[in-house]
Structure formats: structure tokens, C-alpha cells
Structure 1
Amino acid sequence: MENERKTECDMPAAPDEHRLSDILSASQIKATDTYETPPQIIWIDNSTIATLGNFSASTGKAKSKKTFNVSAIVAASLAGKQVLNYHAHLPDGKRRILYVDTEQSRFHCHNVLARILRLAGLPTTTDSENLDFICLREYSPAIRIEVIDYALRQNQGYGLVIIDGIRDLMLDINSTSESVEVINKMMEWSSKYNLHIHCVLHLNKGDNNVRGHIGTEMSNKAETVLVISKNNECPSVSEVHALHIREKEFKPFAFTVDEGGLPVMAEDHSFCETPRQKLKQRAGFMDLTIEQHREALSAAFGDKPIRGFENMLQAMMTSYEAVGFKRGRNVMVKLLLYLTDTLKLVIKRDKLFYYDMTPAEAMLFDEE
């Protein structure tokens, strides 16, 4: 009997009712509450791309000059003037900027720092009191997050935080749990310290999708996502478009790098099809006709169900490519969800997928 007795320490810990009650109370939105419009801090033309309490991102393929573009954003915020097509104003008490680089060596980080100062019209031989630049290349993702968190706790004057290499805050770029955790950190920091975070993330090499699950989460939650791409006809010119923006969309602009190593506007550059338009086309399975869906699905299924999620995706990749819709796995996952939840052309029962069958017909195959 003595061994069966449970002490208080052996019992499961009771939920922290007081903590949960405090969170619930603090989270309630009431009709009698009043909220100020979040201060706008960065614009392109008349379109707001950044406000305090939110986060945004720049993305692009390797060598698209993403860091040159971010340097212009920081310089405009530091000097309170227009650089390239960015003009910025950080409010009183929020004039400081934290630049975190997770990828480059200290030598290259120093070059970026010098470029920012030159763009802002500041001397490169004197540290700016409003710009802190840290290099975290040699540390683990967990330590990088801890250092950023510590820096934000120590200085409440930051209005803008740059994380050049958000991918390096996690071990696995395709990890759902890590992606959610990192994005939650962006939302926590930006809200808790009333600042704006701008992150840099790569596009996939093979297509125009933002890399990994972190890219998907970023696109869903960010205030603005900019895409920087090299012009096909003139690789020395980089174009800036809105991949996603909550405000009205701005007119794309282009820049090149002058002999002094600084980004400058490419004034006479003409635009053709934008990366955003291409991205819409690449992810445009909703633009396919029902006839195209049926042709692809008929080829994928034949007259039998398909067993297993991965087998289903592989069959779809082959059959949809045959109707002119060649896409990667990530798009096919979204397409499958669209086919099952919206169009109702595909039914899933346990591990089997069925094409255009009623539940009763699906059960017949189950019995076989």
C-alpha cells in the first residue's frame, strides 16, 4: 500500500490558472478599446511596406543582389531620406537599427556596414550611434536566437531589425515545427518591442518559390514580401517587385551597382513580365479548367485508387505535366488539397485516394 501511495510531487502538475487567465484577459479585443494605427516607417513611392509591430521579408535567388537592396533599406532608415526607391522615417525613441548577419564572414559584413554608411551619407571611419551590426555566422541557430533576443531586451530604442539569413535561425528549413517557432519569434519580437523586422530568405534554385516551409510561413504572415531578381536580358540589373503586400502594390523598380560599389537606380530600365506575375502563373492551378483537371486525374488514376500520399503526389506530377502544368512537390501538395477540399474531385479514405467517386463507390474499392 505504501508503494501505491502518491505524494504531491508524484501528481501531474496543475495548469497555471493565473497565467492562463492573464493571457486570456490581455488577448481580448473589446468594442470599447481604441487602437492607434501602427506607425509607418518605410515606403516605396506612396505604398507602405513596413510598420512598427510587424515584419517583412526580401527574397531572391543567389546573386540577385538581395543584400544590396537591404543595404538601401537600412541606409534610408538610418538617414531618414530616400535611397533607391525607399524612403523612411523612424519615430523618436525608435531611431536605432540592429543588423544581424548569419551568413557572411566578418570581412564581408564590414563591407556591408561600410556600404550602408556611404549610402546614408555618413563617414565610414566612425561608428553610427544608431546602427548596431552583429555577425553570428559561427554560432548555432539556438544561440543566434538567444543573442537577438538578448539584444532586443537590452535596448528598447530599436525601430528596425534586419535578419540577413533567417534560414540560419533553424536547423531544418523544411521543419514545420521549427518554421512555426521562428515565425512566432518574429511576431513576438516585433509586437513586444514595437519594432519592425525585415528578414532575408532565398528563393529555390529550380523555381520561383520561397525556400522551404519557413518560406511558406513567411509569405502567409509577413506584412510585405519583396522579390529581387536579375533581369534576364541584362544580368547587371536587379528588379524589385512585390511578391506579397498588404498595402496597395507599388510600381516595380530596378537598380544596378555603380563603379563605387553602391546600388543606384536603373532609370531607363523597361519591365516585361514581373516575377510576381510568373509566380502567379506557376502557382495558378486554380486557373486550370475542370476539363484539364479531369484529363490529368484520369491519367493519374486510370480506373483504380492510389495508395499513399507520396504515390499520389508523384502520379499528379506526371499527369499534370502532360497537360502543361509542370510543378514541384510543394505546389502539388496545395493542388491536392484544392482537389479534395474545394473541387471535391478526389476523395481520401484512410491511405487511399479515389478520383471522382461517391463515398459509396469508394467503399466498394475498400471492400475489394
Structure 2
Amino acid sequence: MKAANHLYSKEEQLVFVRSSFTTLERRGIAITPHFPDWIYRAGMALAYYGESGREIFHIASKLNPSYNQEKSDTQFSDCLRNFDPVRITWDSFVKVTDDAWVNMKPEVKEEKEKMVGQPPAKGDYEFFLNEEIKPDYLKLLKDATIDLNEELAPPPVCLEVVQGQIKSTIGTRGNFSLLIGKPKSRKTFLLSIVVAASLNSEPVLGLIKGSLPANKRKVLYFDTEQGKHDVQKAGKRVLKMAAKSATENLQVVYLRKYDIKERLKIIETAIYKTKNLGLVVIDGVRDLTSSINDEEQASMIANKFLKWTEECDIHIMSVLHQNKGDTNARGHLGTELQNKAETVLSITKKNEVSLVEPVLCRDMDFQPFAFGIDENGIPVPADPKELMSSEEDEAFKPGKSTSPDSSQNLAKSKEPGEVSVETHKQLLELVFRENPHLKYNELLTQVKHASRICRLNLGDNKAKEFITWYQSNGHISKQGKEKTKGCFYQLEPVPV
């Protein structure tokens, strides 16, 4: 059997495995007589498919003369309880079945070869898989090819920050966003603002505006961390800020009591079964994995978000904690989600005011805004200047470590010549990552934006100093005639 986990989805693998053992059962071929522990090993491997693997486990087990239905059922239940999603994968089942074929009697091997007309190579089980089950990759290629002559509309905007006449998009249908912050920084309150805005016709706090059409007004709110009472409290808070008619469009689900696999399946089922769905909020994406540093699980979550948002034409906003020692999103999961998200927002809290800032935006960055909580537990606008005006608040600003040594080092590193070569390289790569040719205002915005990721937090004047320094040292150049439409800045291949 080919270890092709990257080629077949879990559902396709399950069809493949069921087809294999149904064929064995029909032909009366037992591949386990000389393999005493095969039943246990196969059970652990089939537990990879959850309850769906139980039927196949019985089909495979009863081909053995010592098969007992009740004992086998108990055996599989034990396998499900002891299943380790990190250690047991599709490849585990491949190894078990390949080992079993090796231990078959010669006459059974002959029968196997008759089934396909020629002796298959060891480890090749694809003779069991009907052609119609295999993915048609030519069709997939055709579906994935973009017609460059077709007029494609941009993804519909569903969430914006409105500041005067300026609108900054923070969410579109077909994409997902990420909210990061320290514990107790009021991430859940910010989610309440976002959800209320999506259910409302008017901006919430005079800032956050939702624009879901009537046929996409349904919102799913999942909480993986809090208990039932606290999740209900968050839902009621949303309704207080939204229109009275919003109740029918908001579904709040608490998932704390379920295991990881159940949480993912519940969310996926709700997304595909909910009519008129426009927005999904997941408060606690970390609880959809067993480890935030598992690269495979992190990639799986990011890919599910990309798949769900595109196939269902929705926006997903998820929440993840920042690291204890810095302001980066936690673990491989945070890195993967941040790389794939269209928007990353950070929230920080000092005293009774929380500050919201853009970390990564495909659209124009909005100006930081702040909110507090009134006596009724409802978010109200606050002045962000109170948090950002004095020098003593420098260490509080997002992107900075809270340790005294670190904030002193950041303050000393504000001059371009005092910043490390690696940081300069990272900043310039981020600046020109999406567009190699930038107008000056675009360049200024991108330098400030990239400086947050690099934990420099440059303001307008300091960002302009960095641009001048990069020009004078040959790292970026200005092309075209100044003050014309053809004038732009580009990155030069000169080592920093």
C-alpha cells in the first residue's frame, strides 16, 4: 500500500481501506493467521478514522479463525481510548497491512496476484482502489487554472474599521483573520464588538462596521475555553450591542467539554450545514490542536480555515494567545495562521483600557483605537492617546517586551545604524514581499507595518529616517521621475 497521505484526503483513504477489506472478505482471504498481534496493531491504526474504522476492524478481524465479535468490539473501543493522533497516521495502517501481506501463505499470495493479473510490488495496494475513487487530477488542474481574461470580482468586504472618511478592511468573505493578545487583554470583548457589528446595520463603537448581505447574515460563535455560563454571558453581551432582531442570526456554541477531534468535527459540520452563514468566530483556536508547536497540526488548521472560507464563502476570525516573553503569536500554530491570515490584529490592556492595533493587513492599516468597559459590562470607546502619549508607556506598546532590559535595548536600537543586519533584512523582505514596486506613501506604510513585526514600532518620522538610510546605503532605489505616476521605490540586491 502506498503511503500517500499527501495525495488522498482522510475520507478517500477510508473508502480505499473499506474497499480493500471488503474485497478480502468477499474472496475469503485471511491475511492474519501468522501474525498474532496484527489485530491490536490494526485496531490502533484504524482508530485513526474514529468510529468509522470500527466496521472495517470487524471485517478484517473476522477473517481470522479466532475472531470473537464481542472481544473485538471491546478491543477497538480500547484502541479509540488510547489513540495517539501524533503517532498514529495513515502510514501506520500502511505498515501494518504490508507486514501482514509479507506473512501470508504462498497460496494466498497467489490468489492476491490473480486479483490484479500480475504480481504487485511489495507495498502496492492500489489494485484494490477502483478508478472512480481516485481523484481526477487533470480535472482538479482544470478547475484550479485561472482564466486571465475573466473578470473576477474582489472578495466581498464583511468587516471594516471606519475612521472618519477612511475605511480599512479587516475581513473579507473567503479569507480568515487572527486576533492575538496576552491573557485577560479583553480579546473576547473585542470579538463581541466584531460579532455585534456583523449583526448590526450601524458601526459598533462608531468604528467597527459589518457589511454582510441579508442572505449571509448568520454568525456562528464557538468558544473552546470558557464554561457554559461564561459563553452565554458573552453571547448576551453581543445581543445588547446588536439590533434586537439579531437573536435569530446568532448561534453560540461552547466546546470546552469535547475532545480535539470532536471540536473540529462539530465546527466543520456547523459550517457546512448552516444556511446563510457569513461569519464564524473561534475563541480559542489553540484548543483545536494537541500542541501549538506541532507543524503538521498547525498546517492542518490553517488549511481547513482556507478550505472552509473559500468553499462556504465566509470569513473566520480566530483568537490565539501571544507568547509570554514577546508579542508574537504562540507556537508553530501562530506562525502558520499569521502567514495565511489576511489580517492580524493585536490587543493589549493597561489599567482599564484595551488598545487594538493592526499587525498585518492586506488593506490599508487603520489607526489604533481603544475601548473600555462600562458598569454594565459593555465595551465603550476610549482615547488611545492615553496609552501611547507618554515615554513611560513605551514598554506597553504592542511589539515590545515588558522586561526592563528588553525595552532599554529596543529604545537604543531606534537608529538605523544600531539595528542588527538580520533585522534590516527581515524588515526589507516584509516591505517588498507583496509588491516589488511601491509609491512613497505605500513604502512608508509598509516600513511602519513591517517594523511592528520586527519589534521596532517605528512612527512616521523614524520610518522616514529608515527609508532615507536605506536609500543612502543602496538597499532601496527610487525609479522614474519624482512626483509622477511612474515614480516608485524598489529593493536592490545589495547586502545590508
Pairwise same-fold verdict (TM > 0.5): yes
TM-score, scaled relative to structure 1: 0.72
TM-score, scaled relative to structure 2: 0.54
Give the aligned partner of residue 189 of structure 1: 308
Per the TM alignment, residue 278 of structure 1 is displaced from its structure 2 partner at its CA by 3.4
Aligned counterparts of 2:423 and 2:371: Cα–Cα separation in 1: 40
Change (3 A) 1:277 1:53: same
Aligned residue identity for 1:208:
T
- Aligned partner (choices 102, 105, 118) of residue 240 of structure 2: 118
Per the TM alignment, residue 32 of structure 1 is displaced from its structure 2 partner at its CA by 2.3
Change (3 A) 1:269 1:24: same
Per the TM alignment, residue 96 of structure 1 is displaced from its structure 2 partner at its CA by 0.4
Give the aligned partner of residue 260 of structure 1: 376
Aligned counterparts of 2:209 and 2:255: Cα–Cα separation in 1: 28
Per the TM alignment, residue 269 of structure 1 is displaced from its structure 2 partner at its CA by 3.9
- Aligned partner (choices 29, 40, 43) of residue 157 of structure 2: 40
Give the aligned partner of residue 364 of structure 1: none
Q: How does 1:101-250 map to 2 (within 5 A)?
A: 101-122=223-244, 128-231=247-350, 235-250=351-366
Change (3 A) 1:291 1:138: closer
Asked if 1:8 is matched to 2:127, the reply is: no
- Aligned partner (choices 145, 155, 170) of residue 28 of structure 1: 145
Aligned counterparts of 2:295 and 2:276: Cα–Cα separation in 1: 32
Change (3 A) 1:22 1:81: same
Q: Secondary structure at the match of 2:287?
A: helix
Report percent identity of matched pairs: 38
Give the aligned CA root-mean-square deviation in angstroms: 3.0
Give CA deviations for 1:252-274 in whole Å, capped at 9, x if unaligned.
01111011100100137432458
The answer (yes or no) to whether the contact 1:227–1:275 under 8 Å persists in 2 is no
Q: Which has the higher contact order (CA 8 A, sep 6+)?
A: 1
Aligned counterparts of 1:291 and 1:220: Cα–Cα separation in 2: 19
Aligned counterparts of 1:114 and 1:65: Cα–Cα separation in 2: 16
Change (3 A) 1:268 1:147: closer
Q: In terms of Rg, which structure is larger?
A: 2
Q: Secondary structure at the match of 1:49?
A: strand
Per the TM alignment, residue 154 of structure 1 is displaced from its structure 2 partner at its CA by 1.2
Q: Secondary structure at the match of 1:129?
A: helix
Aligned counterparts of 2:383 and 2:332: Cα–Cα separation in 1: 36
Aligned counterparts of 1:169 and 1:185: Cα–Cα separation in 2: 11
Aligned counterparts of 2:366 and 2:279: Cα–Cα separation in 1: 21
The answer (yes or no) to whether the contact 1:141–1:170 under 8 Å persists in 2 is yes
Per the TM alignment, residue 109 of structure 1 is displaced from its structure 2 partner at its CA by 0.5
Q: How does 1:353-368 map to 2 (within 5 A)?
A: none
Structure that is richer in helix per residue: 2
The answer (yes or no) to whether the contact 1:81–1:89 under 8 Å persists in 2 is no
Asked if 1:91 is matched to 2:213, the reply is: yes
Per the TM alignment, residue 22 of structure 1 is displaced from its structure 2 partner at its CA by 2.1
The answer (yes or no) to whether the contact 2:355–2:384 under 8 Å persists in 1 is no
Q: Secondary structure at the match of 1:41?
A: strand
The answer (yes or no) to whether the contact 2:370–2:384 under 8 Å persists in 1 is no
Give the aligned partner of residue 82 of structure 1: 203
Asked if 1:66 is matched to 2:187, the reply is: yes
Q: Secondary structure at the match of 1:98?
A: strand
Where structure 1 has 5 or more consecutive residues not aligned to the other structure, the ranges are 294-324, 326-368
Aligned counterparts of 1:291 and 1:23: Cα–Cα separation in 2: 41
The answer (yes or no) to whether the contact 1:243–1:276 under 8 Å persists in 2 is no
Q: Secondary structure at the match of 2:293?
A: coil
Aligned residue identity for 1:41:
C
Aligned counterparts of 1:213 and 1:62: Cα–Cα separation in 2: 19
Aligned residue identity for 1:113:
G
The answer (yes or no) to whether the contact 1:58–1:201 under 8 Å persists in 2 is yes
Q: More deviation in 283-292 or 168-177?
A: 283-292
